[in-house]
Amino acid sequence: MAVVCPRQNAGTDVGPASVAPPVSEGPDRSQEPDREALDAYSAVVTRVAAQVLPSVASLAVRTARGLAGGSASVISADGVLLTSAHVVAGASAAQAAFADGTQVSAAVVGRDPLSDLAVLRADGPVPAPVALGDAAALRVGQLVVAVGNPLGLAGSVTAGIVSGLGRSLPTSAGRVVDEVIQTDAALNPGNSGGVLADAAGRMVGVNTAVAGIGVGLAVPVNATTRGIIATLLAHGRVRRAWIGIVGRQAPLPPTLAAKLGRQTGLHVADVVAGSPAAIAGLHPGDVVVAVDGASVTRTTQIQRLMVEGAIGSRIEITVWRGGALVDVVAEPRELTGV
């Protein structure tokens, strides 16, 4: 009996099954946007560090309480340094050391505890000054770079963003610094007096405090700051006016709120005995709604008006008292003992 074998088709490979070579998909580019963003971020931070670091000094300060330290920055070609007032409190001079090895003595020209700013003048050559910017142009979320000497580590650089604007910083003098910059750039003891710079390498703030983990504060560099610096250089201190009230923001009665078109005023909690406010007839319980016709809702708004020119001048204060608006006139005196 014949056995019939099935025919194989011509050209068919009956050996082991072959495996097709893998298809090349090229390099994985899915992470490139992230890498490019990181590279751009690094490029900005390294550029700002290179611009600013040479102008930032480590300060060594000796006071009656012992040695202290902080940071300062060169702000003019003739050797003016800017730092925080609390860094040089109780000192008449400091030693400044720069990244290039330059070391100079610097005399304290003036301090202003109410803005937490101080200026010094070096007694020898110093590196080129840092460019001054304007904090008024900052936006929340903007990149900033902090340069200083935290924990004794000279020439440290950290970066972050502007986390908030318009913060208030209480000072040891019992007042507040207004319009303070909040950042998440890491700040530590020793950073005080250092530079907070924008992406162009311009100084937009003076690092001053750590309010908590991830919360650093800087005094803004703006038109007000420049005026304070000029006054400190010319006179060694800043003269301010004072009227002597303690207040807090409080809701207005509905009828008054409807009349003024706003919901809050400044409730007077206390009046300092013998102060201009007491002499003018202000009382605890009054609600200040305006000073010289300008609306008032916070103590910082009155504080802004208490400049040197207000000393001895007559100002009209409008208060809500006993269901009626009452005008009183006060003459601010010079604030002393700070």
Q: Please state, in angstroms and rounded to a whole number, the distance separating the CA atoms of residues 125 and 101.
A: 12
> 300 and 246: one domain?
yes
Q: Which amino acid is located at 32 in the chain?
A: E
185: containing domain: 135-222
Of the three residues 101, 122, 143, the one that is the final residue of a domain is 122
Number of domains in the chain: 3
Instruction: Note whether residue 62 is domain-resident.
Output: yes
CA-based nearest residue to 86, from 106, 103, 72, 76 = 72
Q: Which amino acid is located at 141 in the chain?
A: G
Instruction: Note whether residue 16 is domain-resident.
Output: no
> 71 and 139: one domain?
no
> 147 and 118: one domain?
no
Which of the residues 55, 84, 86, 267 is marked catalytic?
Answer: 86
Q: Please state, in angstroms and rounded to a whole number, the distance separating the CA atoms of residues 138 and 246.
A: 31
Do the Cβ atoms of 267 and 287 come closer than 8 Å? Answer: yes
Which of the residues 84, 115, 156, 192 is marked catalytic?
Answer: 192
Instruction: Note whether residue 14 is domain-resident.
Output: no
Instruction: Note whether residue 259 is domain-resident.
Output: yes
> 249 and 320: one domain?
yes
CB burial class (10 A; 0-12, 13-18, 19+) of residue 149? buried
Q: Please state, in angstroms and rounded to a whole number, the distance separating the CA atoms of residues 19 and 249.
A: 79
- The pLDDT score that the predictor gives to residue 114 is 85
> 212 and 142: one domain?
yes
CA-based nearest residue to 314, from 294, 293, 327, 330 = 330
To the query of whether residue 192 is one of the catalytic residues in this protein, the response is: yes
Do the Cβ atoms of 100 and 143 come closer than 8 Å? Answer: no
Q: Please state, in angstroms and rounded to a whole number, the distance separating the CA atoms of residues 293 and 309.
A: 17
Q: What CATH number is associated with residue 329?
A: 2.30.42.10
Q: Which whole-number Å values give the CA distances from 109 to 13, 19, 99, 123, 320, in the listed order? A: 96, 83, 23, 12, 44
> 102 and 148: one domain?
no
Maximum separation of any 2 CA atoms in the chain, in Å: 137
Instruction: Note whether residue 311 is domain-resident.
Output: yes
Of the three residues 122, 144, 163, the one that is the final residue of a domain is 122
- The pLDDT score that the predictor gives to residue 302 is 86
Which of the residues 71, 73, 84, 116 is marked catalytic?
Answer: 116
To the query of whether residue 267 is one of the catalytic residues in this protein, the response is: no
> 181 and 108: one domain?
no
> 91 and 116: one domain?
yes
> 321 and 261: one domain?
yes
Q: Please state, in angstroms and rounded to a whole number, the distance separating the CA atoms of residues 132 and 110.
A: 19
Q: Please state, in angstroms and rounded to a whole number, the distance separating the CA atoms of residues 216 and 70.
A: 15
- The pLDDT score that the predictor gives to residue 182 is 92
Do the Cβ atoms of 122 and 57 come closer than 8 Å? Answer: no
Beta bridge partners of 219: 206
Could you give phi then psi for residue 234, rounded to 5 degrees?
-80, -35
Q: What CATH number is associated with residue 116?
A: 2.40.10.10
> 87 and 115: one domain?
yes
Instruction: Note whether residue 117 is domain-resident.
Output: yes
Instruction: Note whether residue 1 is domain-resident.
Output: no
Of the three residues 69, 100, 122, the one that is the final residue of a domain is 122
To the query of whether residue 116 is one of the catalytic residues in this protein, the response is: yes
Q: Please state, in angstroms and rounded to a whole number, the distance separating the CA atoms of residues 86 and 208.
A: 9
Note the pTM of the prediction, 2 decimals. Answer: 0.75
- The pLDDT score that the predictor gives to residue 83 is 96
CA-based nearest residue to 243, from 322, 202, 299 = 299
Instruction: Note whether residue 47 is domain-resident.
Output: no
Give me the tens of pLDDT residue by residue for the chain, a chain 338 residues long: 444 444 444 443 434 444 455 555 555 555 556 666 568 889 999 999 999 999 999 999 988 788 888 999 999 999 999 999 999 998 999 999 999 999 999 999 999 988 899 999 999 999 999 999 999 899 999 999 999 886 666 778 999 999 988 887 776 655 667 788 999 988 877 789 999 999 999 999 999 876 656 688 999 999 889 999 999 999 999 998 989 888 888 899 898 999 899 999 999 989 989 999 999 999 999 999 999 988 988 877 888 788 888 999 999 999 999 889 999 999 999 987 66
> 183 and 253: one domain?
no
